[in-house]
Structure 1
Amino acid sequence: MRRETQNILLVLLGGALLKISFSGLYLRYVKPGLLPLLIAGGVIMIGLALFGIVRDIRRGRPVEKTAAGSGDSAGSGDSAEHDEHDDHAEHGGHEHSHSSRSTWLLLLPVLAVFLISPPALGGDVVGSAADTNQTQRARNLLGELPTGDVIPLSMTEFITRTAWDESGTLDNRRVKLTGFLTRAEGSTYVARIAISCCAADARPLKVKLLGDVPSLPDEQWVEVTGQVVPKSASEQTSWVPSFTVESFDAVAEPAEPYES
């Protein structure tokens, strides 16, 4: 790969990182805590590219002067080199052309970041079972429930409590959940995607909705208020709890679509 191509790719890739960082799109790829690393990575890439460009410009000046000053003294040596260059162009030029074209294909993923804004992971990631490993890891993090008539809980805490809190602290308590709708085998679920680091380790979380569920499209984000069906999260239901709906509101997708 030519040095100029390397520098251009570094500038574009660094620019892509800064673009998704300052536009907030990075939340579709990684956790919020990784924002400083993304910004630092983009700045370093652009800095390295600019350093390489300036270095090449400085190195190129004396070479041009030397080549111009030694043109007359080269004589027959230049003629031989010219013949050799022509021979190389005749036999190897075609191969070099293909190499350059394949190098520029590396721009495609960079352009994709600039031109395409992928949606956050949604219903296509949610399988037929909840992630039991996630609830097991969070088992020891249970604390006291907040007070109030309606308790807003994350999907992670809600599923963890329904699966592992044998004391039934959520029984007969009104809870509000936020997630997107997904449907499977005639049932409707409110779901959320949880990540530990980035979208590559995404884990699906879902709750089965019972009662009067409005006919809204899949992937629609909602706030659902209701009560858990006691003992509904079990090995037989793949640890997916059931939730009796009392109120149902469509909302906009949150700026941070994933749970940690």
Structure 2
Amino acid sequence: MRRETQNILLILLGGALLKISFSGLYLRYVQKGLLPLLIAAGVIMVGLAVFAIVQDVRRGKAAAEDDHGHSHSSRSTWLMLLPVLAVFLISPPALGGDVVSSAADTNQTQRSRNLLGDLPSGEVIPLSMTEFVTRTAWDESGTLDGRRVKLTGFLTRADGGTFVARLAISCCAADARPLKVRLTGDVPSLPDEQWVEVTGKVVPKSANEKNSWVPSFTVESTTSVAQPVEPYES
């Protein structure tokens, strides 16, 4: 690979990292805590590329003087930057229903038994999908039974049912795992991938091994919302 090409790739990759870092798009790929590392990596890549370009220019001038003005320019290589700049104009969406539908219906909460604390007080309890699904699978005391809960996620449909879903990540989007809840009652007729807040109650004992620990949720009300800045749970 030519040095010019290497420098172009460094600028491209470093610039892309900085772009998604400062625009907030990095949250579609990794957890929030990794932001400093992304910025550092982007700065280092761009810095190395600039340093290499300066060195090449100096060597080029020296070689031109030695050759009595016969320049061997490779400026055309830099034109490669024009098409790859399109990368900066394309923003892929966060992972969504396609991942939920294609993933194996094995609830990941079975692999992470967390100690469940007391539920907060209030008429409506806002819970993350992770906590809600974990409680329905492991809390045999039924602390959620009869409690009105609010969940936030996107709608997806499969096997004749409607689900509210969310993706959870441990590090980055590559390890995303689906969390989903089957909706019953006043099921919304909104399109797939629409983000919503649903309020209702869990169907007691609805999560079991036969349905891959996917609980059912009786919907009382639904509100359409924008996709959260942080679309993934951790």
Q: Which residue of 2 aligns with 1:174?
A: 148
Cα deviations across residues 172-199 of structure 1 (Å, max 9, x unaligned)? 1111000000111221110001111111
Alpha-carbon distance between aligned partners in 2 of 1:149 and 1:219, rounded to the nearest angstrom: 28
Q: Which residue of 1 aligns with 2:163?
A: 189
Alpha-carbon distance between aligned partners in 2 of 1:60 and 1:129, rounded to the nearest angstrom: 57
Tell me if the contact between 1:130 and 1:206 (Cα under 8 Å) persists in the aligned partners: no
Tell me if the contact between 1:9 and 1:107 (Cα under 8 Å) persists in the aligned partners: no
Q: Considering only aligned residues, what root-mean-square deviation do their CA atoms show, in Å?
A: 2.1
Alpha-carbon distance between aligned partners in 1 of 2:66 and 2:54, rounded to the nearest angstrom: 20
Alpha-carbon distance between aligned partners in 1 of 2:207 and 2:189, rounded to the nearest angstrom: 25
Q: Which residue of 2 aligns with 1:243?
A: 217
Matched position secondary structure for 2:14 = helix
Q: Which residue of 2 aligns with 1:122?
A: 96
Alignment coverage as a number of residue pairs = 225
Matched position secondary structure for 2:171 = coil
Alpha-carbon distance between aligned partners in 1 of 2:137 and 2:111, rounded to the nearest angstrom: 12
Cα deviations across residues 98-141 of structure 1 (Å, max 9, x unaligned)? xx8xxx5x997x54531211111111111375443x31243223
Alpha-carbon distance between aligned partners in 2 of 1:140 and 1:254, rounded to the nearest angstrom: 25
Q: Which amino acid aligns with 2:68?
A: A
Alpha-carbon distance between aligned partners in 2 of 1:38 and 1:112, rounded to the nearest angstrom: 21
Alpha-carbon distance between aligned partners in 2 of 1:206 and 1:7, rounded to the nearest angstrom: 44
Q: Which residue of 1 aligns with 2:47?
A: 47
Q: Which residue of 2 aligns with 1:253?
A: 227
Matched position secondary structure for 2:98 = coil
**TM score, norm. by length of structure 1:** 0.81
Q: Which residue of 2 aligns with 1:146?
A: 120
Give runs of aligned pairs for residues 88-237 of structure 1, distance below 5 A.
111=85, 113-127=87-101, 130-132=105-107, 134-237=108-211
Alpha-carbon distance between aligned partners in 1 of 2:193 and 2:209, rounded to the nearest angstrom: 27
Q: Which amino acid aligns with 1:149?
A: E
Alpha-carbon distance between aligned partners in 1 of 2:105 and 2:179, rounded to the nearest angstrom: 5
Q: Which amino acid aligns with 1:168?
A: G
Cα deviations across residues 34-61 of structure 1 (Å, max 9, x unaligned)? 1111111110011001110111122223
Q: Which residue of 1 aligns with 2:60?
A: 60
Alpha-carbon distance between aligned partners in 2 of 1:113 and 1:20, rounded to the nearest angstrom: 11
Matched position secondary structure for 1:140 = coil
Q: In the TM superposition, what is the alpha-carbon distance from 1:218 to its structure 2 partner? A: 0.6
The percentage of aligned residue pairs carrying the same residue is 79
Matched position secondary structure for 1:209 = strand
Mind listing any 5+ residue stretches in structure 2 that lack a counterpart? 71-76
Q: Which has the higher helix share?
A: 1
Q: In the TM superposition, what is the alpha-carbon distance from 1:239 to its structure 2 partner? A: 0.3
Between structure 1 and structure 2, the one with the greater Rg is 1
Residues 1:31 and 1:171: Cα distance change in structure 2 (over 3 Å): same
Residues 1:152 and 1:220: Cα distance change in structure 2 (over 3 Å): same
Q: Which amino acid aligns with 1:234?
A: N
Q: Which amino acid aligns with 2:214?
A: V
Alpha-carbon distance between aligned partners in 1 of 2:57 and 2:184, rounded to the nearest angstrom: 69
Q: Which residue of 1 aligns with 2:73?
A: none
Tell me if the contact between 1:129 and 1:239 (Cα under 8 Å) persists in the aligned partners: no
With 122-131 and 6-15 compared, the bigger mean Cα shift is at: 122-131
Tell me if the contact between 1:170 and 1:228 (Cα under 8 Å) persists in the aligned partners: yes
Q: Which residue of 1 aligns with 2:74?
A: none
Q: Which residue of 2 aligns with 1:78?
A: none
